Structure 1
Amino acid sequence: MSSSSTSSSTDAPASESDSAASDPSSDRSAPSVGDLAQSAFDRITAFETVLIAGGVVLFLALLYQMQVPAREESFLNPPLVGLAGALLLWPLRRQKAARALMLSGGALLLLWTIDKLSRILIPFAGVYLLAYLLNPVMRSLRKRFRLPRWASSLLITGAVVGTLALIILILAPSVADQVDVLSQQLLSGIDGIRSWLAASSVLDTLSSTGLIEKQEALQQIQSLLQRQARRLPEAVEGVASSLGSVLGVLTIAALVPVLLFYALRDYPEIQDSLTGLFPTAGGRRDYLVQAGGIVGQYLRGQLMISSIAAFNVSVALFLFDVPFWLLIGLVAGLLNFIPQLGSIVTMVIGGLLAFLLGGWIKAFIVVAVLIGQGFLEQSVLTPNILSYQVGLHPLLVLFSLLTFGMFLGVFGLLIAVPLTAILVTAYRAYREELTLELGEYGGEPNPSDAGSS
């Protein structure tokens, strides 16, 4: 009897200890964040640490190779350094640190390659933009006349090439002549400006206060004006030489029609391939369709409005016999792509040019014509042509113009609004997806679950 009681008393603590060991709600403390980080660090072997350190060194070497131009006899270049880093980190591709290095290095290498191949990519990007803008025309031709896609592509390519050739043959000589005459008149008018400043009392007043020396200020102003006037024909020559250095004018003239034909014919496949490169939002890419619609409507509408503005301003200034009417009209049409700031810059440039070379009356005519064109654009053209607005706040438009203009210059001003529309649309899609995920995470419990509990 005593032996049985003793055995039972000895078995009780053992069972209690077993239950305590198996009970998850026991007093054992959970591992801390420091313990988890230490255990994760212990799992990285010395060999893997050496590989990651080598990847960091090669990433820094990649940055150095991109920043410092390589010597002619140097064997290393950014693609080779990037390839070495990818091979070095490939065994560790499942670790976050190695993936971060590979992704950042790949992104930098991609941007460097695009920068180096920019002159080659310009014709392809321009042709794809034309195909993107002309795709609705392609659909209309196929729907109305039931033409095959290759026939519609051939017809549109011929029309585009013929129109561009006609514009170049008609406008290019007139623009070149007006630029030449403008540079000569600016150079000849420098002496008149110097004489006007010398006769003015402004420099005398500043000279009497001891702030400036009159003759020295006149010489500096004259030299500055001469340098700026000489830059106009040099800029035109630089644009012509840069266009000739892409692949050669003849090569581009022969290449662009072929590229445009194939881009129009295979546009759906090209669009699907490019769309597949972008990330998904909620498993879909609806934000790309929405952003593409916004950008397409904006670009097509702005192109039509800019063409109308250039034609109206040029014809009106020609009828009023304003000097350099064609240059002012082309500048008005080109700067019309820049919202809000474009009209102001056109008015300042056109008014100043007409005042210096035509007097107060011509300057007043230029400003009046540009104001009338702006009123026509805001009241008639924009509501009827841009039926689908971009949907950006004016302050955001100004901020994007200043930001892109500071980093990319004139090209940044042209792409600021459509690119901002794409970014805003992508952000809205991401925010909606995040809101849905947070709603599912913190939503109300299922009634069946509540009843079962």
Structure 2
Amino acid sequence: MSKKYSVDLYYLWWLIIGCVGITLIYLLSPILTPFLLAAVIAYICNPLVTHMAVRKIPRTMGTILVMLLLLSLSAALVLIMVPLFEKEASRLVIKIPAYLEMLGGGVIPWLESHLGVNLNPDIDMLKHAMTEHWQSAGGVAAKILPSLTSGGIAVVEFLMNLLLVPVVLFYMLRDWELLIQQIDGMIPRYWYKQVSQLTRETDRILAQFLRGQLSVILLMSICYITGLWLAGLEFALPIGLLAGILVFVPYLGMIVGLMLATFAAMMQFHEWGCVIPVWVVFAIGQLLEGMVITPWLVGDRVGLHPVVVIFSLLAFGQLFGFFGILLALPVSAVLLVWLRHIRQQYLESNLYN
């Protein structure tokens, strides 16, 4: 067999493997979610377990300690954040009548005088209706929920996946090195050099992306919460936290946070002059994220285009549900590395030339 046909057959095998892999992912997507999420968490936490193993702590014990640490952090976050959000929600409910008064006395007259929009809402009726509906929300939900069969099944499926994640995570963390050795031993020796190079680059990019993105979310949440608190905004905590968490989608965190903060500031201060510090906070935050924090912690090597990010979130959300949104960006970063290698191989192939 000539060298030309040998190389073409080599690429054909890679194409077949890729098609089979994509088909399996599509067919098994309903059950793959907890395994993929556990694999991502295990990848992030494996260096800590490995460090413990170097310190003569067995991997089983190290895995248990790391999982207890993750559980403690999650519980602490819930115990801290839930009361704060409950407090902010209660304050919002108390202020709703005042907001409606401002709507009727300031915003609607301004719209009518400047834009010619004729609005005549009954503010008292709105306040009365909102109060009644808020008090009876629990009873309405209790009547509606039994009829939502499909929604109940989805909730059960979500909880089952959530309970399966720690089980899969334990075995993946404990046997991570063994799994890597077994996969390494199954790679055909003819492909071993190229696969090893691809794996090393994927590992470098994924580690840089995941750990860097988590750091960006943490720092931006702190920046937004602190800035909005200094600006005197009452709802600085929930708005700043939401804006910080959404920074993994380009511009989404800034846009959503800016809209919510502007609305909250107008309802609180009743004048545009007091909204300017809120805008300054988001402007500074966007500059810090784009020019300092993200290039420093994540770098430019991942190179996910905003359109690719949005498509990845929608596609993975469609395939894997809520967990798919969490998995979209790290998996896309890995696929980007592979696509770069495929493109390079294609440009050097006989088919292209």
TM-score for the superposition, normalised by structure 2: 0.68
TM-superposed CA distance for 1:150, in Å, is: 1.9
Identify the structure with bigger relative contact order (alpha carbons < 8 Å, sequence gap 6+).
2
TM-superposed CA distance for 1:305, in Å, is: 1.7
Q: Distance in 1 between matches of 2:77 and 2:217?
A: 15
2:174 is aligned, of 229, 241, 265, to: 265
Question: Are residues 1:133 and 2:44 paired?
Answer: yes
Per the alignment, residue 372 of structure 1 pairs with 284
Larger radius of gyration: 1
TM-score for the superposition, normalised by structure 1: 0.55
Per the alignment, residue 63 of structure 2 pairs with 153
Q: Cα–Cα, structure 1 residues 299 and 110, in superposed 2: closer, same or farther, change >3 Å?
A: closer
SS at match of 1:438: coil
Question: Are residues 1:318 and 2:226 paired?
Answer: no
Per the alignment, residue 403 of structure 1 pairs with 311
SS at match of 2:301: coil
Q: Cα–Cα, structure 1 residues 201 and 294, in superposed 2: closer, same or farther, change >3 Å?
A: closer
Q: CA RMSD in A?
A: 4.6
Per the alignment, residue 328 of structure 1 pairs with 239
Letter paired with 1:302 = Q
Q: Distance in 1 between matches of 2:101 and 2:185?
A: 61
TM-superposed CA distance for 1:307, in Å, is: 1.0
Show structure 2 runs of 5+ residues with no match.
Answer: 1-15, 146-151
Letter paired with 1:434 = Y
TM-superposed CA distance for 1:310, in Å, is: 1.3
Q: Is contact 2:49–2:63 with CA below 8 Å preserved after alignment?
A: yes
TM-superposed CA distance for 1:331, in Å, is: 0.8
Q: Distance in 2 between matches of 1:180 and 1:418?
A: 37
1:390 is aligned, of 282, 296, 301, to: 301
1:293 is aligned, of 186, 201, 204, to: 204
Instruction: State how 1:6-17 maps to structure 2 within 5 Å.
Output: none
SS at match of 1:323: coil
Q: Distance in 1 between matches of 2:166 and 2:103?
A: 49
Q: Cα–Cα, structure 1 residues 111 and 418, in superposed 2: closer, same or farther, change >3 Å?
A: same
Q: Distance in 1 between matches of 2:165 and 2:331?
A: 25
TM-superposed CA distance for 1:281, in Å, is: 10
Per the alignment, residue 381 of structure 1 pairs with 293
Q: Is contact 1:287–1:426 with CA below 8 Å preserved after alignment?
A: yes
Moved more, 334-343 or 406-415: 406-415
Show structure 1 runs of 5+ residues with no match.
Answer: 1-99, 208-213, 443-453
TM-superposed CA distance for 1:306, in Å, is: 0.9
Per the alignment, residue 168 of structure 1 pairs with 78
Q: Cα–Cα, structure 1 residues 257 and 391, in superposed 2: closer, same or farther, change >3 Å?
A: closer
Letter paired with 2:99 = G
Identity fraction in percent: 23
Letter paired with 1:174 = L
Q: Distance in 2 between matches of 1:338 and 1:276?
A: 38
Q: Is contact 1:295–1:390 with CA below 8 Å preserved after alignment?
A: no
Q: Cα–Cα, structure 1 residues 290 and 260, in superposed 2: closer, same or farther, change >3 Å?
A: same
SS at match of 1:245: helix
Letter paired with 1:111 = Y
Q: Is contact 1:401–1:417 with CA below 8 Å preserved after alignment?
A: yes
